[in-house]
Structure 1
Amino acid sequence: MKEVFIISRCHTEDLLYLLMHLNKHIATRFERCAGVSPNRLELLCKLTGGEISQSDLQKAVSIDPAAVTRHVQQLEAEGLLLRTRCENDNRITLVQLTEVGKSKVAAFKAEKDRFMEELQADLTESERLALVHALQKLNSQIQQMKHPSKTD
């Protein structure tokens, strides 16, 4: 059964649920298609620039720090990346893609491009641009919002 959202009557709270629903379904279908979660792909893509400290990697991705650690450990076990200690400071863990990791990332990126084309197939170019613009505005606004305390 296909779920239908009526945008013309969309209240503010409905938009929140629509975005959450869309995010959940895109992530699930993308992972099924590409064989990698969007979070893992983001993490792997950040490593295409070369070696980086694990703490810098955590700052660079929009993933919970504990989840980054789990992903890094699992990706290392899969042979996609390598962790080493910094020679100058043993407290720093450096992370880099292996050759296998580099080829996997290239394949994942190609699959992501194919997935996104299929997802946007029914949108015109102007609709695509308007969607990107609206999402960028929402992202900018959420970055500027104050974090209310529970006592406010």
Structure 2
Amino acid sequence: MHLNKHIATRFEQCAGVSPNRLELLCKLTSGQISQSDLQKAVSIDPAAVTRHVQQLEAEGILLRTRSESDNRVTLVQLTEEGKHKVAMFKAEKDRFLEELQEDLTESERLGFIQALRKLNSQIQRMKETSKTN
């Protein structure tokens, strides 16, 4: 957790966006989505998603509208400025990851990726198990 906190802090300093906010924005690159579907798609607390969406709308990065077919549904999409910012954030993320890994050999990088994939698979299995219990 300590390492994750340091990486997230350094990432935000370098990229200009938090990892959580970038995850949320990346989910919007494929087009308009309901805010409830967005909340389900990201690993962020629903209240935090609402705060992010409100702040991003105030910054002109995304737009919220009501669904024409169901007024209870809020739709969220990136603005043109938002699309441009997401592209910049992704480029900064790539630079950050390269810098973070620059002292690793190719073998170490591949081993690290393999370990992360295994951990991710285990987390998914744990989630599925907790849903069935």
Q: Please, what TM-score do these two structures have when normalized by structure 1? A: 0.81
What's the counterpart of residue 77 of structure 1?
A: 58
**Distance of 1:112 and 1:142 partners within structure 2:** 24
Match of 1:94 among 75, 79, 83: 75
Q: Which runs of 5+ in 2 are unaligned?
A: none
Alpha-carbon displacement from aligned partner over 1:49-89 (angstroms, at most 9, x marks no partner): 01000011111111111110100000000000000000000
Greater CA drift, 101-110 or 134-143: 134-143
1:39 maps to a residue whose letter is N
Which of 1 and 2 has higher RCO (CA within 8 Å, sep 6+)? 2
Larger Rg: 1
Q: CA deviation at 1:22?
A: 1.3
Count of residue pairs the alignment pairs up: 128
Q: By how many angstroms is 1:142 displaced?
A: 2.3
Q: Deviations over 1:72-122 (max 9, x none)?
A: 000000000000000000011000000110110011000000000000001
Match in the other structure for 2:2: 21
Displacement of 1:143: 2.3
Please state which structure has a larger fraction of its residues in helix: 2
> Which residue of structure 2 lines up, in the alignment, with residue 63 of structure 1?
44
Name the % identity: 84
Moved over 6 A (4+): none
CA-based RMSD: 1.0
* Aligned AA (1:23): N
1:122 partnered with 2:103? yes
Distance (whole Å) between structure 1 residues aligned to residue 22 and residue 75 of structure 2: 18
